[in-house]
Chain A
Amino acid sequence: MSLSVIVLTALVAMPWWADSGWIRWAVELSCYIAIAQMWNLLAGYAGLVSVGQQAFIGAAGYALFILCQKFGVNPFLAVPLALIVPALLSVPTYLLLYRLDGPYFAIGTWVVAEAVRLLTTNLDYVNAGAGLTLRVMAQYRLHEREIAMTMLSGILLLVTVGGSYWLLRSRHGLALTAMRDNPVSAGSQGVNVSRLRFFVFVAAAVGTGFAGAIYYMAQLRITPASGYDPKWASISIFIVMIGGIGSIEGAIIGGLIYFFPDRFFSQYGASYMVVLGCLTLFMAIYARGGIWGLVASRFDAPWFPVGRRLALPAAGERKPS
């Protein structure tokens, strides 16, 4: 926990000790970790395997650009306002898809994301396929922008990673963890699985949208092809599968593993993607719990302890772990 505070403080202080290239990397890495953490909540805990989270990334990104460029809202105030759009989009999406199971649900989320992308591509109001540019950012000096971006990234990690930790330590986290391990059993033991799934779907849409808004604010430009790019789904799946599904630590480890090789090897294009795919496949077959699963099976030292223990032998007392 103390390490988390140090990392967050270092991140927010980056404009005073790091150069612009490092700050850009830190903002992007924060976005990847946040998106993966939200996908982990969805797929790892609620059992909702979505390949359409890009719908919320693009929707929040576009909402931010529209608020700033069309309505003149301060861009940093527009970020929280933009989150209303993925929240609103997630409700009908869930109501449309929640009866679908497993792969059918996954395909449904992809179809919704594609439909939103096509809709955006054909909307003249948002400059159709050509996309939008965040010109209002030009009014701020680079240093001011960097302060704002690192602050927003810090808040993003606090909300997504810290929020996941808070959720999983709560009584609802107990139910979510039970759902992760056996949703049928959880339902027969009093857990309202449908309601929790709905809550997680909406929360993940908002968290994912938050990351999307920050990511495209840093890029200063959004198009339907980039904002609704299915690569966001591939990245989320890779990060969580490699890091360890069903754990907060896994999404962080996977995010780091994805991000740094991506900086250096993405120039190899398709070959690099094939290697990433093979690595995901290897982990899915031989280490389904990912890297964190391998670590946790040997050492009982979680970075984010969410379990509850019974104090022994004085049964009846409790000692939070």
Chain B
Amino acid sequence: MSLGEQTSSMTGNPLLSVQGLGKAFGALRVIQDISFDVREGEVLGILGPNGAGKTTLFNLISGDLATNTGEVCLSGERLTNEPPYIRCRRGIGRTYQIPKPYGGMTTFENLLVTAMFGAKLDEDAAHRSCAAILRECGLADKANRRAGSLTLLDRKRLELARALAGDPKLLLLDEIAGGLTDQESGELVDLIRRIRDRGITVLWIEHVLHALLAVADRIIVLNFGQKIADGHPQAVITDPDVRRIYMGIEA
């Protein structure tokens, strides 16, 4: 399926460019020749059934996994062979589907690490920045609590807050709305809108469709490691192939 025409109308320069990306674990080809651009200020949603390769795609973009083929460029700069910490410093912030907090450190310290090493702020500036982000993400009252003692929802908030502490140009959100109530996912959508309005580009893997559709400018769909759709959200979710593969609805 090709819905690429609809994306060509988007304005702005490509911030992230992924070209011919491929990854295999032994004989299993998890990502196959995936290419797409993400424009500055865009919110791009990624859909796909479990095992489609969505998180692997994130790991290839963030550098947690090495690519077998293809290129990853940010603002025209080739990052394909750079380690994760360099990609973070260049402006790629990420969250993990299964939160990976520093459990023995406080919530505040979790953010400080990213602010001081990712955004390269000095300690005083990092303190101010982290305090503001904690307030924005609703974690200020838990700033001095050990991250390991937080509830799952707070850990997800912490993932987002920590990624923001790195002052990212591109934010990779991996199923951040999973397990949230309608009200909480509404608050999350508002937060992501505010993040987008600050000029941060967002790449968002999500199964909570109503949350994703509320904010996404464009959606791509993966299946068995291949991109099967790319276009305007409404066009993508009404596409017969997507409905059959992702939602199990026959046309």
Q: Are A188 and B84 in contact (CB under 8 A)?
A: yes
CB-contacts of B65-94 with A (<8 A): 83-85, 87-89, 94
Q: Which residues does chain A contribute within 8 Å of B102, judged by CB atoms?
A: 177-178, 180-182, 185-186
Neighbour of A190 across the interface among B89, B96, B103, B104, CB < 8 A: B89
A171 vs B119: C-alpha distance in the bound complex, in angstroms?
Answer: 13
Does A7 make an interface contact (CB < 8 A)?
no
**Using a CB-CB cutoff of 8 Å, which residues 96-116 of chain B contact chain A?**
96, 100-106, 108-110, 112-114, 116
Q: Which residues of A contact B88 (CB under 8 A)?
A: 188-190
Residues A190 and B100 in contact in the complex (CB < 8 Å), given A174-B112, A316-B131: no
**CB-defined contacts of A309 to chain B, threshold 8 Å:** 106, 108, 143-144
Q: Within the complex, what minimum Cβ distance (angstroms) separates B89 from chain A?
A: 5
A175 close to chain B: CB less than 8 A? yes
Find chain B residues with CB under 8 A from A187 CB. Answer: 64, 83-85
> Which B-chain residue is minimally distant from A313 (CB atoms)?
B140
Contact with B along A175-202 (1 / 0, CB 8 A): 1011011101111111111100000000
- Chain B, 50-75, CB within 8 A of any chain A CB: 62-64
Q: A174-B113, A189-B113 are in contact. Are A310 and B162 (CB under 8 A)?
A: no
Count contacts on B: residues with CB < 8 A to the other chain: 44
Q: Which residue of chain B has the shortest Cβ distance to A190 in the bound complex?
A: B118
Using A171-B116, A174-B116, A189-B113 as known contacts, say yes or no to A312 and B143 having CB atoms under 8 A apart: yes
Q: How far is the CA of A174 from the CA of B127 in the complex (A)?
A: 13
- For chain A residues 119-163, which have a beta carbon within 8 Å of chain B? none
Is A318 part of the binding interface, using a Cβ–Cβ cutoff of 8 Å?
Answer: yes
A182 touches B100 (CB 8 A): yes
Tell me if A246 is interfacial: C-beta within 8 Å of chain B.
Answer: yes
Contact of A189 among B114, B123, B130, B131 (CB under 8 A): B114
- Whether B113 pairs with A310 at a CB distance below 8 angstroms is no
Distance A94 CA – B86 CA, assembled complex (angstroms): 22
B45 contacts A by Cβ under 8 Å: no
Q: How far is the CA of A289 from the CA of B111 in the complex (A)?
A: 24
Please encode chain A, from 292 to 316, with 1 for each CB lying within 8 Å of some chain B CB and 0 for all others. Answer: 0000000000000001111011011
With A187-B84, A189-B166 as known contacts, state yes or no: A307 contacts B96, CB within 8 Å. Answer: no
State the A residues within 8 Å of B (CB). Answer: 171, 174-175, 177-178, 180-182, 184-194, 246, 307-310, 312-313, 315-318
Q: List 23 A-B contacts (CB under 8 A).
A: A178-B105, A178-B109, A178-B110, A178-B113, A181-B101, A181-B104, A182-B101, A185-B100, A185-B102, A186-B113, A187-B84, A188-B62, A188-B87, A190-B85, A190-B116, A190-B120, A190-B166, A192-B117, A307-B105, A309-B144, A310-B127, A312-B144, A318-B124
